[in-house]
Copies of this chain bind each other. A is one copy, B any other.
């Protein structure tokens, strides 16, 4: 096992070569990783199942998502537009003369990735952070999650073999299996590291940000730290559809034993007969869901502690029949009066697991006050009819201040991997709301723009040469085009 300083120095050396590989070379690398992961077959799925308690069907789906992501970034590289090329041609007759100046994106440098407990594939070793960083030319060091070390090691081998067969520089990907806290800290503090990606708890994500910010040379950290994904329930929608909404939300709250950062942990409505119907139906539906084991003992113990703590708060009513046990996840729905909720910040904290709290408000004004009080989310949802939105148009603007993704009449679980996805949001959902962890735009976290001024044509990167050899979209003198220059 190499020392941390050897590992980070290796990454810096790898960057010198890896940063100048071509997009097509890296596309082949990513596709080969995906192929290698699939080639691991049931061995990988069974190992992950053993370490995480996640069912094989779910793991099969997640493996599919992981390989889809790798191939999506490969497609992005083949298209080549992610470099955001821009060309301003010289105007020698201007006073002062305008020089020829061209811009494209360039990788930041070695990235350290901390994987998630709840997604052993899609947000871990070869997950979105790793795939997006490798895609744009950043070497990656993965600190394996202690909850699924063996799974992580299998995936790491798949990546390292792909690096070898596609002739990538040595140490383009390194896997660190030490489980102690100091290792992660040392990685983030190492001089050679240029950025950090993290998925996990608020405590962990914030600690990494603090280490990175207090470096001699601060570096960017993108920590995705979970969310309670508040859902606003409007009256007319409930009057017409209380039962079907309750059934959909019962599934969403308990999906994967609630172990998703998009789990709807807070429901907000104005007291009415319809809200009472909704509440009773949702509790009844959740009672039908069988408890089952959670990802690992730590999460199990934390869920037991946090849900027990939440149930013990003043003014909380438990609506479901389950009583907490320490050996499996059990769906819990509680309710609380809005004024009690607003006076007790504990109630706004995420309880990671199949837990949701319904906040009953006395008016729309109070509903808005509750909603604003939980700003800083990955998603927020409004369940409403046309009539509801006509009566309360101000809710749409308000929703924009709450989260990175805003749903109307849907459930927040299920994060589509596509160009338009934002998996991010204002603090404390993430440490930088200007970026996303999911979708093609995830690469923007690891890129910086560089201007090339007055470069001879033959020395310029291909993306910026006049004849547009990569056939990419570029902004030329202010206009988007795929044409050659001149």
Interface residues of A in 382-426 (CB under 8 A from B): 386, 389, 396-397, 400-401, 403-410, 414, 416, 418-422, 424, 426
> Complex Cα distance A376/B108, Å?
12
CB contacts (< 8 Å) of A408 on chain B: these are: 453-456, 459
Would A410 and B453 be within 8 Å (CB), given that A102-B420, A416-B101, A420-B103 are in contact? yes
Are B454 and A409 neighbours in the complex by a CB distance under 8 Å?
yes
Interface residues of A in 19-62 (CB under 8 A from B): 19-20
* Chain B nearest CB, measured from A152 CB (Å): 27
CB contacts (< 8 Å) of A266 on chain B: these are: none
Residue-wise, chain A 10-21 has the 8 Å CB interface mask toward B (1 for contact) of 000000100110
Copies of this polypeptide in the complex: 2
Are B96 and A414 neighbours in the complex by a CB distance under 8 Å?
yes
With an 8 A cutoff between CB atoms, is A99 at the interface? yes
With an 8 A cutoff between CB atoms, is A305 at the interface? no
With an 8 A cutoff between CB atoms, is A218 at the interface? yes
CB contacts (< 8 Å) of A323 on chain B: these are: none
Cross-interface CB contact of A453 among B396, B406, B428, cutoff 8 Å: B406
Are B436 and A422 neighbours in the complex by a CB distance under 8 Å?
no
With most chain B CB atoms within 10 A of its CB, the pick from A403, A404, A453, A473 is: A453
With an 8 A cutoff between CB atoms, is A167 at the interface? no
- A90: nearest chain-B partner, CB-CB: B416
> Complex Cα distance A111/B362, Å?
35
> Complex Cα distance A419/B389, Å?
40
Are A459 and B420 neighbours in the complex by a CB distance under 8 Å?
no
> Complex Cα distance A151/B92, Å?
33
With an 8 A cutoff between CB atoms, is A209 at the interface? yes
Are B210 and A450 neighbours in the complex by a CB distance under 8 Å?
no
CB contacts (< 8 Å) of A106 on chain B: these are: 400
> Complex Cα distance A407/B452, Å?
6
With most chain B CB atoms within 10 A of its CB, the pick from A217, A419, A454 is: A419
- 27 contacting pairs across A/B (C-beta < 8 A): A19-B397, A20-B397, A88-B419, A101-B420, A101-B421, A108-B434, A209-B213, A213-B214, A213-B218, A218-B427, A219-B427, A386-B456, A405-B451, A406-B452, A408-B454, A408-B455, A410-B454, A419-B475, A419-B478, A420-B451, A422-B449, A422-B450, A433-B448, A434-B444, A434-B447, A441-B449, A480-B480
> Which residue numbers of A lie inside 8 Å of B, CB to CB?
16, 19-20, 81, 86-88, 96, 98-99, 101-103, 106, 108-109, 209-210, 213-214, 217-220, 376, 386, 389, 396-397, 400-401, 403-410, 414, 416, 418-422, 424, 426-428, 431-434, 436, 441, 444, 447-456, 459, 473, 475, 478, 480
